[in-house]
Structure formats: C-alpha cells, structure tokens
Amino acid sequence: MTQTPLVHADRVRTWLCDHALPLWSTAGIDPSGAGAWEALEHDGTPQRSRDKRLRVMPRQAFVFASAHMAGQGDYLALARDLFGFAMTRGFDPDTGHLAARLSPAGDILNAPHDLYDLAFMLLAAAALTEAGIDTSDALSRLKQSLNQLKAPRGWYEDAAHSLPRRQNPHMHLFEAATELFRVTGDPDWRAVADECLGLFAEVFLQPDGRVLEFYTRDWTPVTEGQAVEPGHMAEWVWLLDRYELATGQGAGAEAGIDADAMFGAAIAARDGAGLLPDSLLPASDSRRTWPQTELLKACLARRRQGKPELLHPDAVLAPMFAEYLETQVPGGWYDKRGLDGRLLSTDMPSSTFYHLHGACTAYLAAAED
C-alpha cells in the first residue's frame, strides 16, 4: 500500500533535538544531584520548592537513554545518573518499598511501592540496558520488588493492595516487560507481558473498543467512578505493535483483541480541532498534551502495519504543534487546554516529556522509512 509522505520531519527534529532535549537536560535537572525537577514554569525556570514524584526520574532516564540510542545527542550519562538516583534514593530503608513522592531535596516523603512507578523503573532499566549500561543488579532488585506485588491475577497496585484495581499500571508494566524482553530475551519478562496482555484482552478491552480503567478486587468493572480515557485506547494500539515487534507474534484476533475497533473508537472521540479530550467517561472539557502524542503513535503503528490510513499522522501532528508546542520557550509545552482552546495549565510538567519524546522519535523513524 502506498503511504502518503510525512512532511513535518524537519520541524519535529528541530523542536526535539535543537530545543527540547537541550532544555530538559539542563534547566529540567536539579544541579544538586537530586534528580529532575517536577516542572518548569512557562518561562523555563524550575519549580525548585515543589515536591518531586519518583516516577519522573525513570521517565526522564528513559527519555535520555532513548535519545542516546536514536542518535539525538550525548545524554547517556544523564540517563544513568537519573536512574542511579532513583535506585539509591528511591527505596525506603525501613520497608524496602519504592517511594512515590520526594521532597525538593530528594528525601522520601512516602513509599507506597506503587506498581505504576515500578513499571517506569523497569522501563528505564530496559532503555539503559539497550544502551550498554550494566543494569543487572538493579534489574534483580526491581524483579524482586515486582514479585512483592504479585496477585492471583495481575499485580496489586501497591503494597497496601489498594482499591480500585487499575488498568493503567498494568498497561505500563506491559510496556516495560515488552521492552525488557526485546532487549534481554529473558522469558520471565515475556511471561509478565503475556499476563498483562491477557488482562487487556479479557478484562480491560470492551467489545465497543473502549478501555475501562477501574475494577474491584476480582477484576469486575466498578459501577461508580468508572472512567474511559481515549488516550489510553490509542496508547494500547501502539503498545500492541511494540509487542509484535518484540516477540514476532501478533497480539490481535487470536487473543480476542480488535485493535481496529479500539483505534476507531479513539479517533471518533476527537473534538473539532482533531484532538482527544482527557476523558469520555466522565466527559471532560479539557485535553492534555499526552493523549495527542499517543494518538500520533497509534497512527504511526497502523502505518507500519500497512493498514488503511483512517487518520494520517500529520493530521494529528499539525494541531498538536499549534496547540501545545508553539510556546514562549522553545522545547517547552503547554500541557493542558480546554476543548475551546483556552490555556488551562500553568506550568510544564517534566513527566510529559516521556510522551512527547516517544511520539517525536517514532515520527522521525517513520519519516526515514
């Protein structure tokens, strides 16, 4: 099938390599050695007095290790340092649990041993391993930490076995395990990915293409407080494609997964600007940056698979740039707007770079094919 060309590669490369990576590798990093700042102001200055989330450290480590592997700059030492900080300062010395929130100086404020945060530690380890860094000791500890959360099916959300059960941490554990299997070939990580895939096929994905977020202890969807986020529907399209690349096996019809229906439901959720709202259930009047990046990646995954272009990637990229990336500080972003286009965010969360770097790098790779 003839593919319509991708026309914004130069724009994407300039934003990412000339502006975003230099900005977030300097202004985005605490010079004291206490990891990455939680956010920058819209003028690019750090929010030095704000608490830090542990998850930002491995997310940024993943970004900078991935940038190194993509030939986007010399960021591997920074990636190693951020991951090292999380490994050495991120575990509570009394409980051994992974921290979630840190003080501005990097001291642990709470350590719930959250599955979501642990998934990103594993994802960072995968990227560093691929870049040639020895993470064997760290992976051994992280594997033990993950085993502490093992449930009869899936994994508990934290050490307290909090409810509701959540789709989102299992999605990111699927992502991390898929990448670890791709990089290391360790069958244990393939087994983790396959268990998450089974939950997705049999529990999370609904016949109409929606993905439900919250569940009871036995994986029954909750009736009160349920949510549907179209960004996650798009994200699963991308992650299923990554699984296929890593394993050489499809994750589609044989597992009962209709990714086409999920993608169709996601693109049907777009607003008049062609962008995704934060939530369909409950209906939201806002849209953050990250769902747009996942929609772009979903379009790129379908393009790689040779499927019909129901939505061209440039139809997502162009409004994403216009609404979120044309900022007063080159390489920054506006993180949240109303459906009417009003700017709602007041700063630039560091955690968003994980989404933007992944989308831009995927776009550049597709443009070169």
- Residue 225 DSSP SS3: coil
* Confidence band, pLDDT 50/70/90 cuts, at residue 254: low
267-315 pLDDT tens trace: 999 999 999 999 999 999 999 999 999 999 999 999 999 998 899 999 9
Between 251 and 246, whose confidence is greater? 246
Q: Is the pLDDT of residue 1 over 60?
A: no
Q: What average pLDDT does this structure show over 199-205?
A: 97
Q: What is the pLDDT of residue 251?
A: 73
Which residues have a Cβ under 8 Å from the Cβ of 327 and sit 6 or more positions away? 42, 333, 334, 348
- Residue 326 DSSP SS3: coil
Q: What is the pLDDT of residue 161?
A: 98
Q: Please give the backbone phi and psi of residue 337, each rounded to the nearest 5 degrees, phi first.
A: -130, 160
Give me the amino acid identity at 227: A
Q: Is the pLDDT of residue 6 over 90?
A: yes
Q: What average pLDDT does this structure show over 82-111?
A: 98
208-235 pLDDT tens trace: 999 999 999 999 999 999 999 999 999 9
Q: Is the pLDDT of residue 126 over 90?
A: yes
309-352 pLDDT tens trace: 899 999 999 999 999 999 999 999 999 999 999 999 999 999 99
CA dihedral sign, ordered 133, 136, 138, 144: positive
Q: What is the pLDDT of residue 252?
A: 65
Listed by start position, the domains of the chain span 32-156, 163-269
Q: Is the pLDDT of residue 11 over 60?
A: yes
Q: What is the pLDDT of residue 366?
A: 97
